[in-house]
Amino acid sequence: MNTLPSSDITVRRMDFAIPPTLDPVFVRGCPEESFVYLGLSLVLPHLEPYLIRTMQAALRQIEDPLLAARVKQFCAQEGQHHRQHTALNQALGLLDIPALASLDAEIAADYRRFSEEESLQFNAAYAEGFEAATAALGVMAFKSALFDQMEPLSADLWRWHTVEELEHRTVAFDVYERLFGDRRYRLKTALFAHKHLTGFAVRAAKALLAAHPQRLAGAHPWRRWAFAVRLGRHFLPRLLDSYLPGYDPRAIPLPDGFSAQARRYTQLAVRTS
Ligand SMILES: [Fe+2]
Ligand SMILES: [Fe+2]
């Protein structure tokens, strides 16, 4: 294990040279697991701009210049993430599937509505709930060697995104704590956020399975168990930690290999700031 000072945030502009088409079964031999992650990828082009809008609204109330600077770095990283996932989703043809196009419109409407109608406290708590989940997913991905089981381009894009999610894992938490600090409200909203996101990801995965039924024929049955074990062993315990008293994302032990990958993507980036 290694730990990283929580001030280490690098904004990397990447060129993954995404080709015009990509195979949606990018976790080798496991369409179900691939499609759940693609469900998340479908959400990100709407969710990450919503996080940015939320943090920009919070910035108007943040007086601490250090936290304000970190919020700006958070927004810059998330801005790169949703652009790359939009390109990825296009190469995967996600929006060419009518059920996913209509789900995409529903997702977009939800996040627009949250920004327009919900309080800053709700939006900041939702953002922290999402960030707690991405930190848990990031640790899971490294610890269970998930990226080694992906096709190379997808592995690079998801690993880069994961590295940056872990780098900025404290920002939404710090914003919520500084502006509101009501733990009960944060947990109630995080629970809503986790159900909301999981609902979209599962519906997207089901639509993808319905659109690609032939892909199930060649899938290894044991991979479904491997996916369940990965979630049960490495993701859920970490996510549940975020509901416990005293939770602080600074205490999350960063997985082996994290720092080397962070340096690698800094070197590969077209531009950093
Ligand atoms: Fe992100
Ligand atoms: Fe994030």
Q: What is the pLDDT of residues 12-52, one digit of tens each?
A: 999 999 999 999 999 998 999 999 999 999 999 999 999 99
Confidence of residue 223 (pLDDT cuts 50, 70, 90): confident
CB-based contacts of 95-100 (< 8 A; 24+ apart in sequence): 97/207, 97/208, 97/211, 99/207, 99/210, 99/211, 100/42, 100/204, 100/207, 100/208, 100/211
Domains contained in the chain, number: 1
User: Is 34 part of any domain?
Assistant: yes
Q: How far is the CA of 222 from the centre of ligand 1 (A)?
A: 30
Backbone phi, then psi, for 272, in 5-degree steps? -130, 155
Which DSSP helix (H) or strand (E) runs through 246?
Answer: none
| Average pLDDT of the chain, as a whole number | 94
User: Is 5 part of any domain?
Assistant: no
Q: Is the pLDDT of residue 128 over 90?
A: yes
CATH number, domain with residue 147: 1.20.910
The span from the CA of 145 to the CA of 131, in Å, is 21
Tell me, what's the pLDDT at 8?
87
Contact 78/111 with Cβ under 8 angstroms? no
User: Is 6 part of any domain?
Assistant: no
pLDDT, tens only, 248-267 = 999 999 999 999 999 999 99
User: Is 241 part of any domain?
Assistant: yes
Residues 6+ apart with CB under 8 A from 46: 104, 107, 108, 110, 111
User: Is 3 part of any domain?
Assistant: no
Q: How far is the CA of 161 from the centre of ligand 1 (A)?
A: 6
pLDDT, tens only, 164-218 = 999 999 999 999 999 999 999 999 999 999 999 999 999 999 999 999 988 888 7
User: Is 2 part of any domain?
Assistant: no
Q: How far is the CA of 261 from the centre of ligand 2 (A)?
A: 17
Can you give the residue range of the structural domain that contains 39? 12-272
User: Is 142 part of any domain?
Assistant: yes
Q: Which ligand number lies closest to the CA of residue 169? A: 2
